[in-house]
Amino acid sequence: MQAASASHHISSGSCLNRCSVIVRATPHVPPNVPRGATIVSEWPFSQAVIVAHRGDSAHLAENTLEAFASAIELGAEAVEFDVRMTSDGVAVVIHDADVSRTTDGSGLVRSMTLDQLRRLRIELGGGGAAGVPTLEEALDVLSGRAAADIEIKNVPSEPDFDPDREEAVEATIAALASTGFVGPVIISSFNPLAIARSRELAPHLPTGLLTDRSVEADAGLAFARAQDHAWVLPAVEALLGAPDGFAERVHVAGMRVGTWISDDPDEAVGLMHSGVDAVATNDPGRILAARRRAFGA
């Protein structure tokens, strides 16, 4: 997911229209098939969940183990993070296709080996530094402590996009099994192809369609429903602009709705009152405090 202040919203999530013709050719997988694994639990939350967007990213470097641990300590029920692949086929946690914004290096993640990525440093603040974590390392931190909202990165607007490559999906499913992850999971993406692939390989794992502010919330719902996804995940701008009763329409369809990004306490509480199931935020401590004031929990 992109931060709410970023103009990159529209370009990053516009895969819905560009990929829709392709994804309809994907073999249909019916919902509610028997589970083939017991490493994930059902969605157990009765109230709106606070999703820490890339961890406690308002205070620590995004997508680091330290940011994830901080979010859990604050009480976030779920942590969202991004998955990309290295040149030697290792799933790592980093948002951008290029490492230059978040590390002291430069170049595409896809062109680097894990060993090369390991040499890069991420400034945490206060003189501390961290490394780019692997997916398995991230899952180890979250297992039994928080839900994992795993965003698969591979969209047309990015320099390393490959419409035929879904390695990150396959690697994510393998990592969930190999680590013995315990807890709720959402496999999400702006790319319908990625989550369709997840549905093929592991239909027991809930999937969520991310859409940006250029896509009307109800359009995203219609597409996600047609593809049997468990979640529809519109940008907060699109959700706020949707006709009244959007969350109810999602629930009638047998799905859940989450939104991104809300760092404003009043806005976030309003979304919760509207029936939203999950709110992603860069500042989980602040939004958790607002939820406690509004709902007592």
Point out the least confidently predicted range of 49-58, 68-77, 125-134, 225-234: 125-134
Please report which confidence band the pLDDT of residue 43 belongs to, taking 50, 70 and 90 as the band edges: confident
Look up residue 121 and give its two tokens: 């440093």
Residue 246 in this model has a pLDDT that exceeds 90: yes
Give me the chain's average pLDDT, please. Answer: 87
Amino acid at 240: L
Catalytic residue among 9, 59, 95, 229: 95
What is the pLDDT at residue 237?
A: 98
Contact call for residues 181 and 139 (beta carbons, < 8 A): yes
The CATH number that domain 11-20+45-295 falls under is: 3.20.20.190
Q: Is 9 in the active site?
A: no
Cα 35 from Cα 44, distance rounded (Å): 17
DSSP state of 8: T
Between 295 and 161, residue with greater pLDDT:
295
Q: Using CB atoms within 10 Å of the CB of residue 176, give its burial: 0 to 12 exposed, 13 to 18 middle, 19+ buried.
A: buried
What is the pLDDT at residue 165?
A: 66
User: What are the Cα distances from residue 96, in Å, to 31, 80, 141, 277?
Assistant: 32, 14, 22, 27
Q: Is 53 in the active site?
A: yes
Rounded to two decimals, what is the model's pTM?
0.87
**Residues with Cβ within 8 Å of residue 171, at least 6 apart in sequence:** 83, 85, 89, 90, 91, 135
Catalytic residue among 9, 53, 59, 229: 53
Q: pLDDT of 109-168, one tens digit each?
A: 999 999 999 999 999 876 789 999 999 999 999 999 999 999 999 888 888 887 776 899
Q: pLDDT of 213-224, one tens digit each?
A: 999 999 999 999
Point out the least confidently predicted range of 93-102, 125-134, 214-223, 258-267: 125-134
Please report which confidence band the pLDDT of residue 187 belongs to, taking 50, 70 and 90 as the band edges: very high
**Residues with Cβ within 8 Å of residue 112, at least 6 apart in sequence:** 86, 87, 99
Give the start-to-end residue ranges of the domains of the chain. 11-20+45-295
Match 């629930």 to its residue by tokens.
251
Cα 291 from Cα 293, distance rounded (Å): 5
Q: How many CA atoms lie within 13 A of 203 on its CB side?
A: 12
Contact call for residues 109 and 85 (beta carbons, < 8 A): yes
Please report which confidence band the pLDDT of residue 281 belongs to, taking 50, 70 and 90 as the band edges: very high
Between 13 and 266, residue with greater pLDDT:
266
